[in-house]
Amino acid sequence: MKIGILTGGGDCPGLNAVIRAVVKRGAEYGYEILGVKNGWKGMLEGDTFPLNTDHVSEILPRGGTILGTSRTNPTKEPDGVKKIKDNMKALNMDALIAVGGDDTLGVAYELSKEGLKTVGVPKTIDNDLSATDYTFGFDTSINIVMEAIDRLRTTAESHHRVMVVEVMGRHAGWIATSGGMAGGADAILIPEVRFNLNELCESIKKKHKGGKDFSIIVVAEGAKPIEEKELVTQDKKLDAFGHIRLGGIGQRIGHAIEKMTGYETRVVVLGHLQRGGTPTAFDRILGTRFGVKAIELIKEGKFGNMVSLQGNEIVSVPLEKAVEKLKTIDMDFYEVARTFFA
Ligand code: F6P
């Protein structure tokens, strides 16, 4: 049996744990593993290399992906699906493991409908993929947000300032809510709940007048004030999956807060720091369990499925369930965070 593995979309900590687990468990069954370079781009170009246990030695703590990644969408390329079919045949690739978020797994699902033997592994720092309790990468990113807030708190306190911390997460508030809750933020602004700038400023003023004259405001890149019609974006260009680059809401509200409250305000955009570097223990373990399970699904012939964390069990779910809708924040969870707002 020859199995391909690719990593697609934004990189995230824990990808190398999955690759290592696939190679090691695959070797136990005598499977040959082919590393596909740069996500779906590598499948379109037939750009692969044999992956053996030597390649994956010492990669567990490493961030990023040894395979490289891209945001290439083969369904948007001329004859893209046919090229992938032909390349799988030419490479004698029996099955393909796609490690990615909703875009990458959406393609894996389309290919499975065309009869290709695909298995998905859910990855994204955004944690916005349905049909799994968590994606790996998310835990590392919220720990980075928490540590950043801990550091910003001491300088905010010394200077009696408002610190606005802009975090990633696209159209879901998981990173903002979890990172903000762990860091004890005074307000967390998320895409799922339109926020009122006047009310926010009033609560900041009340807190500062009450004696604690500094604040930490976490804002998700996809958050929107009630009076704005459009999301704040870096530019108007769309990527191959139709996504716009979000970013800039932090600066926008930072200026407004300073103007409306009179308190000195600084803005920190955590950006790609949230995706870089070594994975947490949780993400290493989750990635490892996912990789092992992906090989088991192939052994059992369960194609068109994705590995998933449900409770403490690693199970399999149809790819269709994973990509049918975005997993936005659980409002009960957000309510817990709200209890601690200023
Ligand atoms: O989906 C992961 C993510 O980090 C989002 O949170 C963010 O909006 C986006 O990717 C950034 O993408 P890029 O790395 O292409 O700038």
CATH of 139-276, one of 1.10.357.10, 3.40.120.10, 3.40.50.460, 3.30.930.10: 3.40.50.460
Atom 16 (ligand 1) nearest CA: 245
User: For residue 125, which atom of ligand 1 is closest to its CA?
Assistant: 2
**Domain boundary assignment for the chain:** 2-136+279-323, 139-276
Confidence of residue 266 (pLDDT cuts 50, 70, 90): very high
* DSSP one-letter string for 80-141: HHHHHHHHHHHTT--EEEEEESHHHHHHHHHHHHTT--EEEEEB-TT--BTTSS--BTHHHH
Question: pLDDT tens across 184-194, in order?
Answer: 999 999 999 99
Cα of 166 vs centre of ligand 1, distance in Å, is 13
- How high does pLDDT run on average in the chain? 97
User: For residue 239, which atom of ligand 1 is closest to its CA?
Assistant: 15
Atom 10 (ligand 1) nearest CA: 10
Tokens at residue 186, please? Answer: 């005074």
Q: Do domains 2-136+279-323 and 139-276 have the same CATH topology?
A: yes
Q: Are 257 and 162 in contact (CB under 8 A)?
A: yes
Question: pLDDT tens across 292-330, in order?
Answer: 999 999 999 999 999 999 999 999 999 999 999 999 999
User: For residue 175, which atom of ligand 1 is closest to its CA?
Assistant: 6
Residue 236, pLDDT above cutoff 90 = no
Question: pLDDT tens across 110-130, in order?
Answer: 999 999 999 999 999 999 999
Q: Can you give the pLDDT at residue 333? A: 98
Q: Can you give the pLDDT at residue 228? A: 86
Q: Which residues are catalytic?
A: 126
Confidence of residue 291 (pLDDT cuts 50, 70, 90): very high
Query: Is the CB–ligand 1 distance for residue 220 below 6 Å?
Result: no
- Exposure string for 50-79, b = 16+ CB within 10 A, e = fewer: ebeeebbeebbebbbbbbbbbbbbbeebee
Residue range 2-136+279-323, CATH number: 3.40.50.450
The model's pTM: 0.97
